[in-house]
Structures are given as structure tokens and as C-alpha cells.
Amino acid sequence: MKKEVVVIGAGGHGKVIADIIKKSGDIFAGFLDDGDISGDMLLGKVEECRKYSDKWFIIAIGNNEVRAKMAESYPELKYYTAIHPSAAIGENCCIGDGSCVMANAVINPSAIVGKHCVVNTNSTVEHDCVLEDFVHISPGAILCGTVIVGNKTHIGAGAVVRNNLKITSGCTIGIGAAVVNDITETGIYVGVPAKKLVKGF
């Protein structure tokens, strides 16, 4: 049976997820958004979500902290997992509720993707990786095998993480960075090899 899905967030990220829902054969029911926007597919403000409790929901907000707060505010909703038909998902993978896997993304065997994660366009999550909840892997980023990424960490576009590493929660890995060692302190990491960005640097 086809699922009717309401997308929370009507920005660019929301448009992409709405497209994935349609391409997956399910029904895009419309957007909920608190911004000053209009359109035929705008159902109302986010707080009106409970009016649509018979439907499925996905939070289309790229910012990990905001996405987490939204999910924590509405834990009773049924959360939809959006997977683009062109994504390659290996055997024995687990993808949590509310997560999104975009076009041409690769998730290889035995990888675990937590709840409300974003695995963005053309990104690669190799075998045996673990993404904890509310992680965002940006377009073109590559996680080599057996990488563990902590809650609410954001991996920037085109970044590469060497195999067998762990990145702690709440980090930001900059665009094009190369992570070659474990990251144990929360912070922003940039460069090749990636180093913590110090205030005033």
C-alpha cells in the first residue's frame, strides 16, 4: 500500500525529498513550514502536524540540531524513510526511521544508518560503517569502511574519512577535508589532513 507522506520543511532540501517520495512510488501529501511561503502544496505550519496523524512524516531540514529538536518535539509521528530508487543499498544494512538516502548514494553491506540521518547525493557510506542519529553526510563525501560517526555530526561535501576511524558527536567536518585520525573532541575540522579549527586561526 502506498504511503502518504507530509514533508516538514519546504526549502530546497524539502523539494528534493518530495521528489524522492514520488519517485519511490509513494504519495507526497504536502509541506508543513513555519516560513513566510505559499503554494498549492503548503498544508500549514509545523504545529499543525497532528491534524495529519494518519499520514507519514519526514523532517526535511539539513541542520542536524534543528532536525533533532523537531523530532524530539513530535515523537508520536510516524516517520518515513526516503530512499531514492537510484541509491545502492547493500545487504544487511539498517536505515533508521526518518532518514533520507538521496540519488546515487551508496551504502555498502552491514552499514548502519541511525534515525533522521541524511545520506546526500553521490555520497558513499562503506561497509560496516555506523552513523548514529541525526548525522548528515553531504554530497560527494566518502566514508571508508568501518567508520563510526557520532550523533549530530555533519560531514561536508567532498570530505573523505579513512577507514577504521571514529568521529565523536557534534562535529563539523569541512568541505573537502581528509580525516586520517580519530576525532575525539567536538569541533570544526578542516583541511588535508583535517585539523581542528581554532578560534582566531
Return the closest-CA partner of residue 126 out of 173, 160, 80, 82.
160
* Chain mean pLDDT for the chain: 96
Per-position DSSP letters for 99-146, written without gaps between them? -EE-TT-EE-TT-EE-TT-EE-TT-EE-TT-EE-TT-EE-TT-EE-TT
User: What HEC string does 61-90 produce?
Assistant: CCCHHHHHHHHHHCCCCEECCEECCCCEEC
* Residue 116 bears catalytic tag: no
Q: Is the pLDDT of residue 115 over 90?
A: yes
In this predicted model, what pLDDT tens digit does every residue of 17-66 receive, in sequence order?
999 999 999 999 999 999 877 677 999 999 999 999 999 999 999 999 99
* Residues 6+ away with beta carbon under 8 Å from 15: none
Task: Tell me the C-alpha distance between 188 and 196, whole Å.
Answer: 6
Question: CATH number for the 4-79 domain, one of 3.40.50.20, 3.30.1330.20, 2.60.40.1120, 3.60.40.10?
Answer: 3.40.50.20
* Residues 6+ away with beta carbon under 8 Å from 125: 105, 106, 107, 108, 111, 113, 119, 131, 137, 143
186 vs 200: which has the higher pLDDT: 186
Task: Tell me the C-alpha distance between 19 and 81, whole Å.
Answer: 13
C-alpha distance across the termini of the chain, in Å = 55
- The answer to whether 96 and 113 are in contact (CB under 8 A) is yes
Q: Is the pLDDT of residue 201 over 60?
A: no
Task: Tell me the C-alpha distance between 12 and 142, whole Å.
Answer: 23
Instruction: Name the class of domain 81-190.
Output: mainly beta
Q: How confident is the model at residue 199 (pLDDT cuts 50, 70, 90)?
A: low
- Locate the domains of the chain by residue range: 4-79, 81-190
Query: Residue 198: what pLDDT?
Result: 75
Q: Is the pLDDT of residue 200 over 50?
A: no
**Residue 20 CB: number of other CB atoms within 10 A?**
25
Of the residues 13, 127, 136, 154, only one is catalytic, namely: 127
